[in-house]
Amino acid sequence: MLEFLGAYWEILTIPFVGGFVGWFTNEVAIWMMFHPTEFWGIRPFLGWQGIVPANAERLARVSTRIITTKLLSLKELFSSFSANQMRDHLVRDAPGVSSVEADATSVRFAELTPGITRPHIAGNLPYSISSPLLLALLAQRAEIGPATIMLQREVAARIAAPPGSKTYGSLSVLFALYAEVETLFDVGPGAFTPAPSIWSRVLRVRWRAEPSADVGDFDHFERVLRAAFNQRRKTLRNALSAQFPRDRVEAAGAQAGVALERRAETLDVREFAALAAALTPDPA
């Protein structure tokens, strides 16, 4: 009799226990979406990417209320809401929050936050266009505050790479010139639904008050930089000579004190600045 009652009790309690565990994990997962930096797992909110507004905490509270009252699983949640539906929810329940549909590579972020000086940027950058977005942030550095961004781990490694490393490239030089980059943590595939085949990394970017080197004409500096890294396994002499006359390359190397037998990944920002200054731009 006792064995029967024990089995009967298990049958009755299992659904309740399972339901509670499911509800609890769902609540925790949703909470984590709005507090990403406090967890090793970070999950983008409905594919949302962009600026964290001044009232971001209110957005999190309102959005969490909207989600939890729908009683949806995470899978249902991410498949049921369209961008238009979420925008309608925000307009109705969070009048202080605005939704902007625009090309993130060309929009002026500061113009989206009138009355706020140098808004901070936070987002999970789409990996397919991460380089154009990073260059857009660089171009707007005087108008925006620090950026906390998640990228494909390999791209993030290139941004923060020091001279001499295999991942050091033109993006590394540009960010070393204009920013201080801090690696925060890595994010595994299991933090996403569905799980991708790659790892991600979260960086914090703080813009320098002044560049770490005087590069003069930026367009010319960028041209020299890209020429040097375009054929990164070649020496500077050969890589630069593909874009500039060899005699000017030789003279620039001597004037800047940079040995042209070196490869691009061995030069730091100041050496690139000196080389670009010595390698005078083409006459107008």
Report d(CA 250, CA 241) in Å as an integer.
9
CATH of the domain at 274: 1.10.8.100
Determine the structural domain holding residue 251 and report its residue range. Answer: 218-278
Question: Within this chain, do residues 207 and 237 fall inside the same structural domain, yes or no?
Answer: no
Report d(CA 277, CA 236) in Å as an integer.
15
Residues facing residue 149 across a β-bridge = 123, 203
Q: pLDDT digits over 123-167, tens only?
A: 888 888 899 999 999 999 999 999 999 999 999 999 999 999 999
Q: Does residue 201 sit within a domain?
A: yes
Q: Among 161, 190, 212, which residue terminates a domain?
A: 212
How many folded domains does the chain comprise? 2
Report d(CA 59, CA 119) in Å as an integer.
16
pLDDT at 257 over 90: yes
**Residue 249, Cβ density class (10 Å: 0-12 exposed, 13-18 middle, ≥19 buried):** buried
Query: Among the listed ranges 5-19, 39-53, 146-160, 249-263, which one has the minimum average pLDDT value?
Result: 39-53
Do residues 128 and 104 lie in contact, with contact meaning Cβ atoms separated by under 8 Å? Answer: no
pTM above 0.95, yes or no: no
Q: pLDDT digits over 168-181, tens only?
A: 999 999 999 999 99
Q: Does residue 180 sit within a domain?
A: yes
Name the DSSP letter for residue 178.
Answer: H
Residues facing residue 203 across a β-bridge = 149, 183
Q: Among 173, 193, 212, which residue terminates a domain?
A: 212
